[in-house]
A = this chain, B = another copy of it.
Amino acid sequence: MKFFQTTYRVIYGDVDSMKMAYYANYLRWFEIGRSELIRHLGLPYAEIEAMGYLLPVTEAFCKYSKSARYDDILLINTGVGFVRKASMRFDYRILNQENDLLVQGYTVHACLDQEGKLVRIPESVFALLGKWE
């Protein structure tokens, strides 16, 4: 799988009292990963919305191997798991600066129109993601 990499520095607001990043925060970092991937592909999410589409998350999964810690620089790697008629999956691998794998996971997204109806992914988005798949 082809991964696009972006980084994030862990702050105090992200860690809990075990000195580890709180487990829900990885889903925030997944969002950073997929936003930067699609921006890199030339289609920022704000433009997809402006075209009248929403891509809400319908499924999310995380496997935690090692914890991110305060001040770590996270390497957020994002790939395209699949892209289908009305749904898509992003895959993630988050590592720390020593290249330890911290978390692996994915998010599945549906494609909705403004009224919340399931619709076909617009051709331009489909083509861009398909090339990265």
Give A contacts to B, CB under 8 Å: 9, 11-13, 15-20, 22-25, 27-28, 31-32, 35, 44-46, 54, 56-64, 67, 70-71, 107
Is A28 a contact partner of B24 (Cβ separation < 8 A)? yes
Is B57 a contact partner of A71 (Cβ separation < 8 A)? no
Q: What is the chain B residue whose CB lies nearest that of A57?
A: B23
A102 nearest CB across to chain B (Å): 12
Shortest 9 CB-CB distances between A and B: which pairs?
A24-B27, A17-B19, A23-B57, A24-B24, A13-B28, A60-B62, A15-B17, A12-B16, A46-B71
A90 nearest CB across to chain B (Å): 13
The binding surface of chain A is classed by DSSP as: mixed
Is A13 a contact partner of B11 (Cβ separation < 8 A)? no
Is A60 a contact partner of B23 (Cβ separation < 8 A)? yes
Is A11 a contact partner of B23 (Cβ separation < 8 A)? no
A20 nearest CB across to chain B (Å): 7
A25 nearest CB across to chain B (Å): 7
Knowing that A11-B32, A23-B57, A61-B61 are A-B contacts, what are 17 other residue pairs whose CB atoms are under 8 Å apart, sorted by A's residue number?
A11-B31, A12-B16, A13-B24, A15-B16, A16-B16, A16-B17, A20-B56, A23-B60, A23-B107, A27-B27, A44-B71, A45-B71, A57-B64, A58-B64, A59-B63, A59-B64, A60-B62
